[in-house]
Amino acid sequence: MKHATKLYETVAALMAPGKGILAADESDATAGKRLAMVHLPNEPENRQDFREMLFTAPGIEEYLSGVIMYDSSIKNFTDDGIPFADVLTAKGIVPGIKVDTGTVDFEGFKGEVITTGLDGLSERFAEYYELGARFAKWRMVILIDEDKTPTDACLEVNAMLLARYAQIAQAAGIVPMVEPEVLYAGDHSITRAEVVTTRTLQILFQTLIKYKVDLQGLILKSSMVLAGDMYNDQSSPGEIANATLRTFHMSVPYDVGGIVFLSGGQTPKRATENLNAIAKLGEQPWPITFSYSRAIEEPVLLTWQGKPENIPEAQKMLLHAVKMNGLASQGKYDPNLDTKLK
């Protein structure tokens, strides 16, 4: 592949030790839900202010290797007229872009969805590359419901869509991040989550290999394996670490470029503690780190409250959050010394 060397260089930059990826790729609608936490209306100016505060925060490049953006934010500018992607690049942070266009019902399969966004993807990648994007993300959504969901049919069609996206991304010189999210929502046990996540990843990687996607030039963004949020017996960090790594060793080829975790609705502190427990189990065949959204943004939002005078303190909170997760990615986080993440 003509872009292979560049893809590998991007993967290496994104998986730099002690750093992780900020997923600031909420759609405009989801960004509104974030802003509603601090009673701000979902207006372009408020979305721009929040993202500018994130991207310009001093020192974040020490703990962030990449930032995933949404279409409206990669095309946005600071108040001084500097494109957001250029702000990040100047800090040595790799700009990324979410390219799927959301989910639709999978007809005939109650409660299951497939992800859309392949139409015009080559052209969009060409535009995003010009804007500075060097990696991308596509999310598939897996709901665990009783013993029947997810079906192999749903996993297979989503894996095929992910594989096609990954092919197009690599042809454009952009590293594909594949995100099969097994939802935390539900009353399933950690054992059930492990079975479903293992099956999901096995089908995904069988399909990626079948479609000749270069696994070294690809990053997996995965859920942690943990009991559903409504399950009576919540999983401990140690249980989560063991179940997650067992799953990866059963499912993820060793030549995959790297693995990053989504926080998936966990509280900021819990996501950090669980990442730390995984890292404490030692070196793995793949570099592993975080790609959190809400777990990083929530404490920043609550500190900011939409008030200009709170920006310096909110940016310090962002620096703290990414530093704590950077430490956790190396197994060096001490929850007893962290009084800020909740």
**Catalytic option among 98, 221, 269, 323:** 221
3-state secondary structure the chain: CCCHHHHHHHHHHHCCCCCEEEECCCCHHHHHHHHHCCCCCCCHHHHHHHHHHHHCCCCHHHCEEEEEECHHHHCCECCCCCEHHHHHHHCCCEEEEECCCCEEECCCCCCCEEECCCCCHHHHHHHHHHHCCCEEEEEEEECCECCCECCHHHHHHHHHHHHHHHHHHHHCCCEEEEEEEECCCCCCCHHHHHHHHHHHHHHHHHHHHHCCCCHHHCEEEECCCCCCCCCCCCCCHHHHHHHHHHHHHHHCCCCCCEEEECCCCCCHHHHHHHHHHHHCCCCCCCCEEEEECHHHHHHHHHHHCCCHHHHHHHHHHHHHHHHHHHHHCCCCCCHHHCCCCC
CA 342, CA 333: separation in Å to the nearest integer?
Answer: 14
Angle at 208 between CA 118 and CA 121, to 5 degrees: 15
Spatial contact of 319 and 60, defined as CB atoms under 8 Å apart:
yes
Tell me if residue 221 is catalytic: yes
Catalytic residue among 26, 52, 112, 179: 179
Catalytic residues: 179, 221
